[in-house]
Amino acid sequence: MKQKVSWMLVVLLAVGLLGWAQVGTPLVLDKVSSLADIALTVFGDTAYAPAIMRATNSKALVDNTFARISRLDEILPAGSKLWIPEETWAKAFLAVWDPNRVEDLFGGGKLVVGSWWTTGGEAEGLEALFATYRSRYPDVLIVNATVAGGAGFIFKAIVKPRIIAGDPPDTFQLHAGLEVEGYSPETYLRPLDDLYTIFGWDKVFPADLLDLMRYEGHYWGVPVNIHRSNVLWYNKEIFAQYGLTPPTNWDEFFAICEKLKNTGIVPIIIGNAGGWEVAHLFEDILASVLSPDEYRGLWTGETPWTHPGVTKALEILKRIMDYANVDYSAHTWDTALDYFVANKGAMHIMGDWAWGWFMAKQIDYKVGWAPVPGTKGIFVALSDTFTFPKRAANPINVIGWLEVCGSKEGQIAFNMRKGSIPARTDITPAEKAQFNPYLQSCMDDWARDAIVPSVIHGAAAPESWVVDFKDTINLFLVTKDVKGAQEALVAAAKTALGK
């Protein structure tokens, strides 16, 4: 008995000393024991035996000094080397593991990660998450199942048939917020409330974000980052040449456009080949002419779409298009930035993933940023999360993935490359200092500003409404019919809200 207690002390001490980065501790048996004995000694409960078996078998796949355990009731000889997982992981394992799935006790297997992160900083960020995961679970083969296309509009259409067919990726990217409605989570996704409690995520993410994450009373994804939608990027060289200062309201914005109109410089660069970019611009205009509460109310039915602010927003959009590059429908948001690189374009309104693009092109030295005119103190937010499909083929491997996504280590490694900010609130000043100046200013705003959800990036409204919203705005670009567009927006809201 004394021996057992001393084991336990050693184990606990080791876990405490090594801290978070360590996902468990090795343990060499000094006498013949069963897994249940060990579980009782280490965790105080025999139920943890399968967790120890799985963790040890995972280790054995990459390090043959560890024991291979083939049965839960196996009697292990003295000298067997086991791996004792961290208690949080072990708890999560018990919460997730289906006792009928004996195959989950042998370690290895795949982790199929679905996302739309294929370019520049985002692919590097994803790779950083993979690296963190691999360092902890080297036995698992990661399958990077990405599908290109901004805002994920192609990825989503491809992953849905797979979900219906019962062959989902093990985990996939999902925008925080009402986008989850489009996946019928009550049927296809696993609620993550228990994992939130086990890993303590409900304490480390901001309350606004947790509210956004909850749909039908449950959490369905683990957020990895926060992006800001309402950023005005401006070309410092052009602004210096013409003596301009970043506009704080739309009047100043249009004054700048007038000034640049006949100089051979495009005042405002737009790319709309993806079909969502102008709708993104429009949501920022809505946020600028409405108060945060009014803007939020648009998506809950409290603010009517007949509101004069909506009319004003449409008129502003109509006017902006007069100053945009004529070939906007031949460009996506990023190819349109060729104007910016060539100093032929002055301003661009896009989410802060654009910053990653500027850095990749090494022109960040001439990029200035400001909130979209009229949105100072407002943070139009979106967040990427990862889900846990009910029919994931490798459920145990998903636990570690979500753990990495929600961890401080994973979030810092990911966001520094992706060009977004960690969703966790416990980032220390020293850790913050590692981020680039834009992201540091973004973190300040995130802590200070009123947070409102982005619609085109899935936070504010279900996908079917987003499509109607986007279709209306795209049609408006050609018809320029303010009244007709507003009527269509009212009708879309009626369809979506059922009133």
What is residue 37's three-state secondary structure?
A: helix
Shortest Cβ 186–another protein spacing (Å): 8
Return d(Cα 38, Cα 75) in angstroms, integer: 11
| Minimum CB distance to another protein, residue 320 (Å) | 15
CB of 166 to another protein, least distance (A): 12
Closest distance of CB 157 from another protein, Å: 4
Enumerate residues 6+ apart whose C-beta is below 8 A from 359.
121, 419, 436
Closest contact distance (angstroms) between CB of 238 and another protein is 12
Q: Which of 368, 314, 315, 312 is nearest to 340 (CA)?
A: 368
Both tokens assigned to 403: 């753990």
Residue 55 Cα to chain centre, angstroms:
28
Q: Which is nearer to another protein, 21 or 164 (CB)?
A: 164
Residue closer to another protein by CB (options 249, 495) is 495
- Residue 451 φ/ψ, nearest 5 degrees: -95, 125
Under 8 Å between Cβ of 202 and 193: no
Q: Which is nearer to another protein, 325 or 397 (CB)?
A: 325
Q: Which is nearer to another protein, 16 or 161 (CB)?
A: 161
Helix (H) or strand (E) holding 333: helix 333-336
Centre a 10 Å sphere on the Cβ of residue 496 and count the other Cβ atoms it contains: 18
Binding site for another protein (CB under 8 A): 153, 156-158, 160-161, 163-164, 181-184, 187-188, 264-266, 272-275, 325-330, 338-339, 342, 344-345, 463-464, 467-468, 471, 474-475, 477-479, 488
Smallest distance from another protein to CB 489, Å? 13
CB of 50 to another protein, least distance (A): 32
Residue 175, strand partner residues: 384
Residue 437 C-beta: closest distance to another protein, Å: 29
Q: For CA atoms 444, 445, 449, 453, give the dihedral sign.
A: negative
For another protein, the closer CB: 404 or 477: 477
367 membership: H or E segment, kind and range: strand 367-371
Query: Phi/psi at 441 (nearest 5 deg)?
Result: -70, -35
SS3 category, 445: helix
**Pick 287 or 324: Cβ nearer another protein:** 324
Question: With respect to another protein, which residue has the nearer C-beta, 157 or 207?
Answer: 157
CB-wise, 21 or 330, nearer to another protein? 330
